[in-house]
Amino acid sequence: MWVYVISFVLSSIICLLFFKNYKKRQFFESKGVPYLGNGTIGLILNIIRGQSFIDNLNTQYKVMKNKGITVAASNDFGHTTLMVTDTDLLKAIFVKDFDHFTDRRTFASGPSDVMFSKMLFFMTGERWKHLRSKLTPAFTTGKIKRVFRLFDQSGKKFVKFLESEMQNAISMDVELTEAFSKCTMDVIASAACGIDSQAFNQKEPSLFEKMGKGLQIQVGVKFILKAIGMGFLPKIVSNAFGLSFFDREVRPFYLSLTYVNFNDIIYIFLGH
């Protein structure tokens, strides 16, 4: 009995998705815009084959350029997406007609994902405008010059770390990826958080480095499945199950860090 019910439900969902995809194709093709289909399914298949998210975008871009297509539509994670290859049109979207393209596509986040929902990149409307107006004065040329000494200190640590690695290396080959990662994390820790990252004190990742990696969104099968769930069933996946795009231990670490160092950050950037 349950087998028939589940089969019927799955068949209905598949038919509904095909119907919606057909209606979208009809709509865009009636406007003279090519429709690339459901990009989510193609992305999952390409990732399973070993192709990265960037490689998938590059493939789409090259196909469009070879066919002379300037704008194409697709359905990605439950949202309609327009892919643009024409530079003049992109300039109009980002500059001249920016007031018509103010909001980015967002993913639903539940109460357990406070950091994700409060990031400027994922905000929309008045919330984005309000936070942007607060952050912009902190990143003027004059304000950034005040933290150049911190950049310089991280640069000196970086050079010292490389010299040590070269001395201990069997050959003259040194892995720079790790060194640059440590330098980046040290700059962020000192200039933005007002703390010592301890990144150059040890070869293994420090606590700040580990927490920083927890904030990185790794596009893989796990992320794709989570994004699909939050895109199609946000209340169930995000609210009921409390899923987050970031590791669970990241949130308390950065919230406590921001609270403790808030006055120091204001002093460094605003000079009060």
Residue 195 covered by a domain? yes
Cα 220 → chain centroid: 13
Residue 66, pLDDT score: 87
The CA distance from 119 to 97, in Å, is 24
**Would you tell me how many other CB atoms lie within 10 Å of the CB of residue 186?**
26
User: What six digits make up the tokens of 259?
Assistant: 């609270």
- CB within 8 Å of 102: residues ≥ 6 apart: 124, 125, 128
Tell whether 259 and 141 lie within a shared domain.
yes
DSSP state of 71: E
Residue 110 covered by a domain? no
Q: What is the 3-state secondary structure (H, E, C) of 93-157?
A: HHHHCHHHCCCCCCCCCCCCCHHHHCCHHHCCHHHHHHHHHHHHHHHCHHHHHCCHHHHHHHHHH
Residue 49, pLDDT score: 74
What does the pLDDT profile of the chain (272 residues) look like in tens digits? 667 777 777 787 677 777 777 888 888 888 888 888 777 777 777 767 777 777 778 888 888 888 888 888 887 766 788 888 888 998 998 888 887 877 766 665 555 566 667 777 777 778 888 888 888 887 788 888 888 899 999 999 999 998 888 887 776 677 788 889 899 989 988 887 778 888 888 888 888 888 887 777 666 666 666 666 666 665 666 666 666 666 667 777 777 766 544 444 444 444 44
Residue 264 covered by a domain? yes
Tell whether 153 and 262 lie within a shared domain.
yes
Tell whether 148 and 61 lie within a shared domain.
no
Residue 113 covered by a domain? no
The domain total for the chain is 2
In terms of phi and psi (left: phi > 0; alpha: psi -120 to 50; beta: otherwise), the region of 37 is left
3-state secondary structure of 265: helix
Tell whether 234 and 180 lie within a shared domain.
yes
Residue 260, pLDDT score: 47
Tell whether 37 and 92 lie within a shared domain.
yes
Residue 156, pLDDT score: 93
Tell whether 31 and 90 lie within a shared domain.
yes
Tell whether 59 and 180 lie within a shared domain.
no
Q: To 10 degrees, what angle do helices 53-67 and 39-48 make? A: 120
The pTM assigned to this predicted structure is 0.59
Tell whether 86 and 205 lie within a shared domain.
no
Tell whether 162 and 234 lie within a shared domain.
yes
The CA distance from 128 to 119, in Å, is 9
- Segments of the chain assigned E as strands: 35-38, 71-76, 79-84
Residue 119 covered by a domain? no
Tell whether 71 and 150 lie within a shared domain.
no
Tell whether 83 and 199 lie within a shared domain.
no
Residue 125 covered by a domain? no
**Would you tell me how many other CB atoms lie within 10 Å of the CB of residue 224?**
17
Backbone φ and ψ for 223, nearest 5 degrees, come out as -65, -40
Q: Which of 52, 81, 102 is the last residue of a domain?
A: 102
Domain holding 254, by residue range, is: 135-270
Q: Which amino acid is at 138?
A: A
3-state secondary structure of 205: coil
Residue 165 covered by a domain? yes
Residue 158, pLDDT score: 92
Residue 217, pLDDT score: 66
Tell whether 192 and 94 lie within a shared domain.
no
Residue where the block lists tokens 């005040």: 146
Backbone φ and ψ for 70, nearest 5 degrees, come out as -90, -30
